[in-house]
Amino acid sequence: MLRIGYTAQRIQDELMNKDLPQPVKNLRRIWEKKKVEMRFTQVEVAKELGWSQGAISHYLNNITELRAQAIIKLANFLDVDPREIDPDIEQNLPSIVKQTVSYNASDMTKRINELLQTRSEESSIIVKMSADDYPYLFANAIGNWDCYARLVSVSQMKKPRAFAVRLKGKKHLKFYAPNDLPDSSKIHTMWSVVAFYYS
């Protein structure tokens, strides 16, 4: 018997969704929401991720098991934390480590002990920068500091707040906001910036 306001297709979809593993249910929910926000098709996502459209469909329909590597790629594309798709994925994130943040700079008398998830050293490279070459990074620094940037490949972090770019024919790095990147034909190598450090 059909419920009022329900179509046969909607009831069938609900019944099919009922027996799916939680990560697939989560992926479907996120996919439907982001599909409207980001306006993409399975074909476009497949091309971006280097997969076939069939592979996308198989993950969404639980034909192919949704493993950690696929979850991470899909989460990066959908701009969500992989744990939103699979809350149990944490142990399968090889480049993620937890570090304790002890204090907030605005009140150093109260411990906050928050956990910060960041990339491990093994999956990143560290580059040193001098005040002469990058004065804007040292504009508010007091005294002589060394500045370092932790970088990862763009495939590991697709939507950072900054990119480090080595232009063709140049030896040095330049830093860009995502909306200020130079034309791709001018880029020799590009990394995602995880963090800047001073010591």
pLDDT given at position 196: 81
DSSP the chain: -PPTT--HHHHHHHHHHHTS-HHHHHHHHHHHHHHHHHT--HHHHHHHHT--HHHHHHHHTTSS---HHHHHHHHHHHTS-HHHH-TT-GGG-TTEEEEEEEEETTEEEEEEEEEEEEE-GGG-EEEEE-TTT-GGGSTT--S---EEEEEEETTT-SS-S-EEEEETT--SEEEE-GGGPPPGGGEEEEEEEEEEEE-
Calculate the average pLDDT of the chain: 80
What is residue 123's predicted lDDT score, i.e. its pLDDT? Answer: 64
Residues 14 and 86 placed together within one structural domain of the fold: yes
Query: In this predicted structure, which of 29-33, 51-55, 70-74, 108-112 has the lowest mean pLDDT?
Result: 108-112
Residue 104 lies in a domain: yes
Q: Do 19 and 63 belong to one domain?
A: yes
Contact 164, 128 (CB under 8 A): no
Pair 31, 75: CB distance under 8 Å:
no
Distance CA 98, CA 191 (A): 22
Give the whole-angstrom CA distance, residue 199 versus residue 148.
8
For 51, 113, 136, 164, the CA distances from 79, given in Å and listed in that order, are 18, 27, 29, 20
Q: What is the mean pLDDT of residues 22-32?
A: 94
Residues 82 and 105 in one domain: no
pLDDT at 1: 43
Mean pLDDT confidence for 141-146: 66
Q: Residues 75, 13: one domain? A: yes
Query: Which range among 50-64, 106-120, 174-188 shows the weakest confidence by mean pLDDT?
Result: 106-120
Does residue 102 sit within a domain? yes
Same domain, 20 and 77: yes
Is 2 domain-assigned? no
Q: Are 87 and 17 contained in the same domain? A: yes
- Note whether 138 and 115 are same-domain residues: no
- Burial class, 176, CB count within 10 angstroms (exposed 0-12 / middle 13-18 / buried 19+): middle
Residue count (the chain): 199
**Local confidence band at 137 (pLDDT 50, 70, 90 cut-offs):** low
Residue 129, token pair as written in the block:
């920068």
Question: Average pLDDT, stretch 175-186?
Answer: 92
- For residue 180, tell me if it sits in a domain: yes
Query: What is the domain range of residue 184?
Result: 124-198
Residue that wins the pLDDT comparison between 34 and 150: 34
Q: Are 61 and 14 members of one domain?
A: yes
- The total domain count for the chain is 3
Amino acid at 193: V
Residues 98 and 77 in one domain: no
Position 15 scores a pLDDT of 47
Contact 113, 123 (CB under 8 A): no
- pTM higher than 0.85 for the full model? no
Looking at per-residue confidence, does 1 or 5 come out higher?
5
Question: Stretch 63-82: mean pLDDT, rounded?
Answer: 88
Q: Lowest-pLDDT range, 43-57, 66-80, 131-145, 154-168?
A: 131-145
One domain for residues 78 and 111? no
* Residue 120 confidence (pLDDT): 63
Distance of alpha carbon 70 from alpha carbon 24, whole angstroms: 11
pLDDT of the residue at 88: 83
CATH code of the domain covering residue 44: 1.10.260.40
* pLDDT over 60 (residue 145): yes
Does residue 147 surpass a pLDDT of 60?
A: yes
* Residue 191 within any structural domain of the chain: yes
Q: Is residue 1 part of a domain?
A: no
